[in-house]
Structure 1
Amino acid sequence: MLPRWTALLCASLIAAPCAAPRPAHAQVSDEAIRIGVLNDQSSVYADIGGQGSVVAARLAAAEFGNTLLGRPIEIVFADSQNRADIASATARRWIDSDRVDAIADGSASSSSLAIQEVTKEKKKVFLASGPATSDLTGKFCSPTGFHFTYDTYALAYGTGRALTQQGGNSWFFITADYTFGHALERDTSAFVRDAGGRVLGSVRHPLNTADFSSFLLQAQGSRAKVVGFANAGTDFDNALKQAAEFGLVKGGQRMAGMLVFISNIHALGLPVTQGLVATTSYYWDRDERTRDWHRRFAAAHGGRAATMVQAGTYSAVRHYLRAVEAAGTDDGEAVAAMMRRMPVQDMNNDNVRIREDGRVLHDMLLVQAKAPEESKGPWDYYRILTRIPGEEAFRSLAQSECPLVKR
C-alpha cells in the first residue's frame, strides 16, 4: 500500500495516471531502474539544483509508486563540484559499475557537456535541466540527450530583446568566465544588435567571485543604459547586491539578470530586486496546477519554492519514466526514441513536442520582480509580463548545428 502523501500526489495529478497498463513483455537490464542526479550540491549553484533536484526526481518516481516494470525506481545523487572532469568520471562510474540508467540535471554547462559525451558513448539517457548552453542541442547534440528548462538562446531572446525594445539600447556585460557565461553574452549581444542596440563592452569574472567592485566600476564607467549579468547563482547575488551599494541603479543604469532564479529573488529580497526583468520556464503561481505541485514540493523541501531547474528535473524524470513504461524497457536508445515520440505532459507542460535535436519546446515566461508592497505572501515575487511560445523562444532547426537534424 502506498503512503498517504504518495496516494494523494497520484490522485491529484491531471496528467497520466500513476497506474498505467504495463507492457506484457517488460525488459529491464537489472534489479532496479536507477536515475542519478548529478549536479552542484555544495557551491555556487547548490540552491538552483542541489538537493531540490533530488527532491523533484523523487516526487516524479513517487507518482509511479516508486516501482516500474516490476522493478524499484532508485534515485541516487552526487556532487559534480561544477568540474567537467568530476562530472565525466562520476557519470562513467555510475554507468559502468553502479548500473545507472539515466542521469538528470547536470548543473554547470561545462559539466553537462562532459556528461553528454559519456551518456552518448554509453547509449544512456541524459536529462539536462541545469545547464544553459544551447550547444547541448547544437553541435554537441546526442541521440540520447534531452534539454529541458532553458538555454542561452531562449534567455537572450526573452530578456535581451525585451529590454532593448523598451529603450535599453546600450549594454555592458559582467560575464562568468566559462562556457555558460560566454554563450549567454554572445546570444544576448546578438539580440541586442538585432533590436537596434549597441554593446559598449564587457568584463569577465571567475566562477564563485566574492568581490565585484572592479567589474562594477567598469560597467558604471561605460555609461551603458543596461548592465547585463551573464552569470548565475551566488555570483549573481553578489554582483547585484554590490551594484546597489555602488549606486548603479540610482545613477540611472538598469540591471538585467540574464539567468535569474526565484532563489536569487528570495536571497536578495524584493527591495533590492524590484523591477528586475528575467526569463523563466516555470513560476509556481502561474495556475492551479503549478500551485498544487508547489505545495507538494515545498512540503518535501523545507517550505521552499522550486527553481525552474528543479521543476525541469521533475518534468524530465517524469517524462523519462513514462517513456520507460511505454517502451517496456530501460534500454537507453529505445527509451530515447520513445521520449521523442511522446509529448511532454505534466503540471507545467501541455503536449509539448521534443525535436530531433533533443530540445524540449516548452513555453518561456517573461517576468518582473514585484515591489515589496505588491507581494502577498511567501515566494510571491513575480508578475508575469508575457508568455513566449516554445517554437518562438528557442533556436530554430534551420539555425541548428546538430548533426541529427535532417537538412
Structure 2
Amino acid sequence: MSLLVLSLLITALLLVRVPIAFAFVGPCLLYMITTDQSVGLALRLVANATASFPLLAVPLFILLGSFANHAGIADRLFDFALALLGRVRGSLGYVSIGVSVGFSWMSGSAVADAAALGKLQIPAMLRNGYSRKFALGVTGSAALIAPVMPPSIPAVIYAGLAAVSTGALFAASVVPALLMALGLAVVVFIWVRRDPNIQRTEFSWHQVGVTGRRVIAPLGAPVIILGGILGGYFTPTEAAAVGAAYMAVLGFAYGTLRVRDLPKVFTEAVLTTGSIMLIVASASLLGYIFARERVPQDLSELVLGLTDNATVFLLLVFALSLVLGTALDAIAVLTLTVPILIPISAQYDVDPIALGVLMILSQMIGLLTPPVGTVIFVLQAIAKARMAEVFYGSLPFMVPLLLICFGIIFWPDAILYLPERLNL
C-alpha cells in the first residue's frame, strides 16, 4: 500500500466528515496489514503516544476552563469590561477583545472561549446597533487569543512533541497574544468609525467599582498559574491542577457551581480530553508510517535543496501550517508536522520555541477558515448564522494576525526575549 493510496483514503474520509482520529486510524491500520506490519505494534504506538507526563497538563487545563465556564467567570469579566469602556465608541468590540484576553488565561481553548463568550457578546452587540458581521468577526477572531496566550493546550502538545520547556513556550507566547489583542483593537477602531448606528452605554464609576470587585478573585487564577510556572514554583501540570482547584473553590464560593453540577463539568472535560487524545494517538500512528517511508528525510532534502535561508524556511512553515490548519484540527497538524519540522529547523538554526509560536498562531487562523473552521461552527450554532457570514465578518480581523506571523518570521529572536530574561 503506497503513501499516495494512504493519503487519498484519509482525504476521502475527511471529505465525508469522518472524525479526524478515525479518518487517520482506519487507513493506517490497513497500511499496517497490507505491509505485513504487526497490528499489535500499531496498538502499542497509539497507546504510548498519550503516555507522556507533559500531556497530563492537557486534561487539567481543560478541567480548569470547564470550571471557569460553569462558575460564571466570563459573565463577571464581561460586566466589568462593559462598565469600564461603556462610553467609548465601539465599546462592545473592545469589550469582546478584553474579555477574551482575560478568559484566555483560564481556558486555553478557542472553542471554549467562543462558546462561553459568544452567547454574551453577540446578542449584546446586535441589540446596540452593531452589524451582524462585525459581531461574529470580532467574537471569533478574539477567541483565537486563547490558544496562543498561556495556558495554551496547543503549546502543551507542541512542547511535549518537540521536547522543549512548556514554561519557555508559555513565556514566548505572551507578547504575540497581547499583540493580537492590540491588532484586533485597531481593526475595531477603524470599523466603528464607519458605522453611525452603533450605540453607547452609560458610564458610572459606581458600576465600575461594583463589577471590578467581582473580578478580583477570578483574576487571581492567571497570577497563580503563570506566576507559579514562570517563577519555578510549579510545573505546568501542577499549575493546571492548582488552577482547576482554585476555580472550583471560586465557583462554590459564588454559588454558581454546585455539587450536582460536578458530573456535567467532569463529563465536558473528559469528552474534550478524549477527542484531543484520540487525535494525538491516531496522528502518532500516521507519523510512524511517515517515518518508516522516510518522509521526514525526503522533505528535509527537498527543503534544504530549495533554500539555505532561515527566513524562507519559516515562510514555508507558515504556509504549510496555514494550509493544513484550514483542513485539519490544530492538534492533528502539530502531531503530524512537529516531529518532521524540528530536525529540519535545526539545520537552519531556528529556535524551536520561535518555531512553535509561529506554528500555533498560523494554525489558529485556520479555526476561522472553512472547511474545518471549528470556531465558525460554534458561532454558527450560537448566532444561527451562515458559515460565509462568519468567515467574511472575520476577514478584516485576520489582517493583524497575519502581520504578527510575518513579524515572527522576519524577527524570530524578538519573541525569545522574555524566556531568556526569565532563564527558561
Structure with higher Rg: it is 2
Flag the structure with more relative contact order, 1 or 2, with Cα contacts below 8 A and sequence separation at least 6: 2
**TM-score, reference length from structure 2:** 0.30
User: Which structure has more strand as a fraction of its residues?
Assistant: 1
**TM-score, reference length from structure 1:** 0.31
